[in-house]
Structure 1
Amino acid sequence: MGRILAIDYGTKRTGIAVTDELQIIASGLTTVETSGLMDFLRDYIGKETVEKVVVGEPKRHSNEASESEKYIQKFLVTFAKEFPALAIERVDERFTSKMAVRTMIDSGLKKKQRQNKALVDEISATIILQSYLYNR
């Protein structure tokens, strides 16, 4: 059984989370500059057995796609060409950034640490992955 990789795609930074090999526990992996995302994924997927990729789907309160969806769609086309054998699933990512900040507060991180947007992105990816694991 391979890992499930979650991506919280952003135009500047992308948060990445991953499961263990038994697909039970979701853990934050890293945050990468989006310009280097495909290089990171090539390297990671080349080293680890990844069974599936879960990508956050940003929606508005009205359930319509957010403006950032057009960038994610371009990424998904590129990803599918690069990794045609990997299944891609989408997960509603509404409120994950707010939940990530709440998690940081509840964890006792100081205000300066909570302003680390890369950490917020990584935690958001973890929340997306946990949501996927819970609802599958």
Structure 2
Amino acid sequence: MGRILAIDYGKVRTGIAVSDELQIIASGLNTVATSELIPFLKTYLASENVELFVVGEPKQMNNQVSESEALIIPFLEKLNKTFPEIPIERMDERFTSKMAFKTMIDSGLSKKKRKNKALIDEISATLILQSYMSSKNL
């Protein structure tokens, strides 16, 4: 079994999370500048077996696609072209940033650390991945 890699795609930076090889536990991996995302993935995939990408799907409260989806579509095309052997699935990412912030508070992080948007993105990617894995294990 390979890992599942989740992506919380953003205009400036992107949070990345990965599962263990048994696809049981989701862990934050990194936050990278979005402009460096494909090179980062190439390096990571050179040493790790990833069998699936899960990319967050931003939706509005009425279930309509969010405006930021327009930024994600070109990325998905590039991701598919760069790694055609790895399928891509989407996962609703509504509320992940709010849940990530709450997780930071609940874990006792200081106010200074909670302002770290890169950490929020990484936690959001972890929540997307954990939600995906939970939905597949019903």
- CA distance in structure 2 between the aligned counterparts of 1:45 and 1:55, rounded to whole angstroms: 16
Q: Which residue of 2 aligns with 1:112?
A: 112
Q: Secondary structure of the residue that 2:37 maps to in structure 1?
A: helix
Q: Which residue of 2 aligns with 1:60?
A: 60
Amino acid at match of 1:75: F
Q: Which residue of 2 aligns with 1:121?
A: 121
- CA distance in structure 2 between the aligned counterparts of 1:84 and 1:46, rounded to whole angstroms: 15
Q: Which residue of 2 aligns with 1:135?
A: 135
Amino acid at match of 2:66: S
Deviation at 1:47, TM superposition (A): 1.1
CA RMSD of aligned residues (A): 0.4
**How do 1:16-95 residues align onto structure 2 when only pairs under 5 Å count?**
16-95=16-95
- Which residues of structure 1 form unaligned runs of 5+? none
- CA distance in structure 1 between the aligned counterparts of 2:30 and 2:79, rounded to whole angstroms: 18
Amino acid at match of 1:81: K
What is the number of equivalent residue pairs in this alignment?
136
Deviation at 1:114, TM superposition (A): 0.2
**1:95-124 Cα deviation digits (max 9, x unpaired):** 000000000000000111100000000000
Deviation at 1:132, TM superposition (A): 0.3
Deviation at 1:94, TM superposition (A): 0.1
- CA distance in structure 2 between the aligned counterparts of 1:70 and 1:44, rounded to whole angstroms: 26
Amino acid at match of 1:111: K
Deviation at 1:32, TM superposition (A): 0.1
- CA distance in structure 2 between the aligned counterparts of 1:123 and 1:8, rounded to whole angstroms: 9
Q: Which residue of 2 aligns with 1:3?
A: 3
Identity %: 67
- Which residues of structure 2 form unaligned runs of 5+? none
Deviation at 1:46, TM superposition (A): 1.3
